[in-house]
Amino acid sequence: MSGLPNDPRLPSEAPELTPELRDYVLACLRAARPSRLRTQAIDAFARTMPRTTPTSPLAPVDWDGLETEAVRRGITLAELIAELGSDDPDPFSV
């Protein structure tokens, strides 16, 4: 059988997770058919991703301004926030 852990053709150490390899793994996870195993893989991969911290403190939220803007547009505050999006890109979004 090929591919056993003691197979001399396999590298002795795990490869470094370069940005290119990380993007490839994410693409494979996104393309996989939805399943329990896929969900577990995404969860495990997300736990191993480095956490980024903001370089400066977060600015306070102007809730009154957001509510005023939502009323002006005729949408809910939740819809406005969804339109504004997140500062952090979702690594698993398609």
- Compare 14 and 29 and report the one with higher pLDDT: 29
Q: Which of 35, 38, 16 is nearest to 26 (CA)?
A: 38
Find the mean pLDDT for residues 63-77: 92
**Cα 5 → chain centroid:** 30
Distances, alpha carbon 4 to alpha carbons 16, 25, 58, in Å: 20, 22, 49
Max mean pLDDT range (9-13, 14-18, 86-90): 14-18
Please, which pLDDT band fits residue 1 given cuts at 50, 70 and 90? Answer: very low
- Compare 86 and 46 and report the one with higher pLDDT: 46
